[in-house]
Chains A and B, each alone.
Chain A
Amino acid sequence: MSSINYSEKIPNNVNLSEDRTLQRALEGWQPNFIDWWDEIGPEGSTNSEVYLRTAVSVDPQGWAQFGHVKMRDYRWGIFLNPGESDRKIHFGDHKGENAWNDVPGEYRANLRRIIVTQGDTEPASVEQQRHLGLTAPSMYDLRNLYQINVEEGRHLWAMVYLLHKHFGRDGREEAEALLERRSGDADNPRILGAFNEATPDWLSFFMFTYFTDRDGKFQLCALAESAFDPLARTTKFMLTEEAHHMFVGESGVSRVIQRTCQVMNELKTDDPAKLRAAGVIDLPTIQRYLNFHFSVTIDLFGADESSNAATFYSSGLKGRYEEGKRVDDHQLRGQTYTVLENKGGQLVEKQVPMLNALNEVLRDDYIKDSIAGVERWNKVIEKNGIPFRLKTPHKAFHRNIGSLAGLKVSPDGKVVTDSEWNFMKDQWLATDADRAYVAGLMGRVVDAGKFANWIAPPVMGINRQAVDFDYVRFN
């Protein structure tokens, strides 16, 4: 069960060949996926051979096999974590019942919506990142970008499999639509806001993979608790791949910081103008990027009070982060949770029913996890003896979703007037000038082991290979 059949057109560990209808449906979707990849996938990558990790089975030894492959020939397939034979639903109204292997009719629409929303983010990020290969700061980084791209592609496959297998004709139509929407397209955009933002430069990319892929981690963790067993098993395997994406983000930003600190110490200055003249990204600019990506990403968790969130939880479709590790009744009726509210221009706390606040619960877990990584970045600055610390902004800062949407709040959590906001916003959020400066630094480095001036080399290579290994071969 755990080994993957590569002799089939679509590698899978779900016995696809035993379900001819499904197999034909997916084989029909496959060329459309390849067309999508060719049209809007990584630009200029067709002939490159990339040192990629491919799963050959879902057990720990088998899923990380490395070798040089052309991305177009990457074996996208369908892999589910092994199932538990008598898994029980462990939260919500159905707690204690057997987990579902098929979709209960009454939850069909909601489950489809959850899967489509998750699935839509996967191709979206590939589209957002499609130009980045042309300005990769090293072959190591280019390889990491491509690894993320192919795995986002595989995550799309994972969601499409669920749609085709469990949602009939509706599912097939949704699967087609996933290939038709386009990130940032005015007429047919991706579903979630953050996935329509451009990823114009590598600092944005690292911030995106740190903050936004971490949202992916939390959403996948919540879905991995689902009573719908195929969804739980699929997302569990996706999480293993998602980890690499967050690694790229966390280590990427860390290396940018390391390089900046190094130049600050060489030049003995913290003057952004001098540092920019020296071709590195000053720490205040990094802070402004951070503020932007953090605030845009926490919007992804949805409205702070949401009856949908309550329904998803009570009906067993989506749990909380680490649901299985929590010690409460896992039903949450009658419990409350603290959310922030805009009351007459002031932020005030209020207690709301916890079931309605589950988006906020997940957001708060996410924020805690994000802060831990930002502290790692601060360790790099501290090690370099520089008295500057990065900080995640207040969760009411720059929000566009939920009851805090549109409220003007400073990064340290004070409500400000419109004129104060307009006066200060260029110090809080990356400006066009910041982005133009960072964009100006971008340029492709193609010599193995060489790195652009604005970023430090990594501590170690991929799969214990050397840093100057030929991660990408251009043909």
Chain B
Amino acid sequence: MDMSETIVIKQHLIDPEICIRCNTCEATCPVGAVTHDDRNYVVDADKCNHCMACVPPCPTGSIDNWRQMPKVKAYSVAEQLTWDVLPGELPPEALVESVCEPTANASQVDSLTEAVTDPQTSSLVAPANAAAPKHESFSATLPPWSAAHAYTNLYGPKAADKTITATVTGNVRVTEVGKLGNSDYDTHHIVLDFGAMPFPVLEGQSIGIIPPGLDASGKPHHARQYSIASPRNGERPGYNNVSLTIKRVLEDHDGRPVRGVASNFMCDLNVGDMVQVMGPFGTSFLMPNHPRSNIVMICTGTGSAPMRAMTEWRRRLRASGKFEGGKLMLFFGARSKEELPYFGPLTSLPKDFIDINLAFSRAQGQPKRYVQDLMRERAADLAPLLADANTYFYVCGLKAMEDGVIDALSHIAKGAGHAWESVGAAMKREGRLHFETY
């Protein structure tokens, strides 16, 4: 089937209500993308390359605004010069609709780092934790005491309906990589809608996707499991939809080129396509819901999906003004900024809302840094959280990160004068330490 041209950009904009026209952005911009008239300073979307050089020198913070826009409808310089206020974000449907207008024939989702988390593309069978021995002794099997009740296996082999049909309502690329050089090495944010059918989910749960067709031996494909990247009340609040963060699998564990069946199927979906889904799965990797409970999130790559879900739920609660959330602390690793899903939206979250620590293992000209390195650096802040019964730790990402994370936690506990074995065992018992690795 043909895909339509669907290019979504993350458009860089300046808030005219806050900007004081000091000219530092224009003076700093290395590519001449910033311009002004007597009224406004504006960014030319055709020139801006998202290098971020203009962001730190801005005295007001007005420079740090981003809107997801279909490229063909990006706000022009002339239009921005007339603004008194910054327009809001387009609602997802409007974005999807405009993206799917048949304006061209080649199709390529080209979104930048917008609100998409990287789904954990595990190519394993359904509940897929081939648990590593080390983390197993510390990974809780029970949820936090204040977790909401999770529905599981509403659709699956033992349920009345084996699968539920979901409709794709959005599919955008969320990493900077893949944009250049036509590479397939990318990560997509995919929104699935369940219409009128029940599919209640919680942050931290996952779902199974069954790719269509038969495998090499002539059997139907088995399901692949992906963590949900959206909060309980929907990717769009109040709608019966979920989002997934899915990275294309282009090689197997040994580095041989293999195109993952499910991840490529998902990443190539068009809006309007149907998908067979199982689940939800997961009863323990769930977030605490009591006031002033703290959440420490440690993840790599598409392991950010459940972290995005929890963060977004807390963000919505905070915006409601009716919930007193505790600390959020995030340790997030990727090879580079360009490969880090949600880099843009993440960096614009307020600092008093979430304490973000990013580790890049392949950033040019910089030593390799992993999440566990950052955790050690933040030992002074993590030690009291380890000891605090209201703090819950979540680890999600590649299996390879487990040992490093446990070593770091152990080091921090020891530094605070505690034996990790007893701290870790207690955390497991109390549902305060959760692993989801693949």
Contacts and interface: CB of A to CB of B under 8 A. Distances in A.
Given A60-B53, A243-B24, A250-B20, A368 B38 contact: yes
B92 interface: no
Given A60-B54, A250-B20, A379-B84, A243 B59 contact: yes
- Among A236, A244, A251: residue with most chain B CB under 10 A: A244
B161 interface: no
A247 interface: yes
Nearest to B38: A372
A85 interface: no
B57 interface: yes
Nearest to A217: B22
B79 interface: no
A247 B17 CA distance: 12
A contact face: mostly helix, strand, loop, or mixed: helix
Given A240-B24, A369-B21, A372-B39, A64 B61 contact: no
Given A372-B39, A379-B84, A464-B61, A243 B20 contact: yes
A63 B56 contact: yes
Contacts of B39: 372, 375
Contacts of A247: 20, 22, 59-60
B216 to A, nearest CB: 50
Contact of A239 (B24, B38, B53, B61): B24
Interface in A459-475: 459-461, 463-466, 469
B23 interface: yes
B350 interface: yes
B427 to A, nearest CB: 29
Interface string B34-57: 000011000000000000111111
Given A251-B20, A372-B38, A459-B18, A63 B61 contact: no
A246 interface: yes
Contacts, number: 72
A466 B20 contact: no
A272 interface: no
A256 B185 CA distance: 52
A244 B18 contact: no
Size category, B interface: 20 to 34
Contacts of B24: 239-240, 243
Contacts of B84: 379
A403 to B, nearest CB: 27
Contacts of A376: 17, 20
B50 to A, nearest CB: 13
B351 A466 contact: yes
A415 B350 CA distance: 53
B254 interface: no
A240 B57 contact: yes
Nearest to B351: A464
Contacts of B27: 236, 239-240
B288 to A, nearest CB: 23
B56 A243 contact: no
A167 B169 CA distance: 69
Interface string A368-400: 110111011001000000000000000000000
Contacts of A244: 59
B101 interface: no
A61 interface: yes
A245 to B, nearest CB: 8
Contacts of A459: 17-18
A118 B199 CA distance: 68
Nearest to A147: B59
A466 B353 CA distance: 9
Nearest to B84: A379
B190 to A, nearest CB: 30
Given A250-B20, A460-B61, A465 B352 contact: yes
Contact of B56 (A61, A369, A372): A61
B28 interface: yes
Interface of B: 17-18, 20-24, 27-28, 38-39, 52-61, 84, 350-352
Interface of A: 60-61, 63-64, 217, 221, 236, 239-240, 242-244, 246-247, 250-251, 368-369, 371-373, 375-376, 379, 459-461, 463-466, 469
Given A251-B18, A375-B39, A461-B352, 14 more contacts: A236-B27, A243-B20, A244-B59, A247-B20, A247-B22, A247-B60, A250-B20, A371-B38, A372-B39, A379-B84, A460-B18, A463-B351, A464-B351, A469-B352
29 contacts: A60-B52, A61-B53, A63-B57, A217-B23, A239-B23, A239-B24, A239-B27, A240-B27, A240-B28, A240-B57, A243-B20, A243-B23, A243-B58, A243-B59, A244-B59, A247-B22, A251-B18, A251-B60, A373-B20, A375-B39, A376-B17, A459-B17, A460-B18, A460-B61, A463-B351, A464-B350, A466-B351, A466-B352, A469-B352
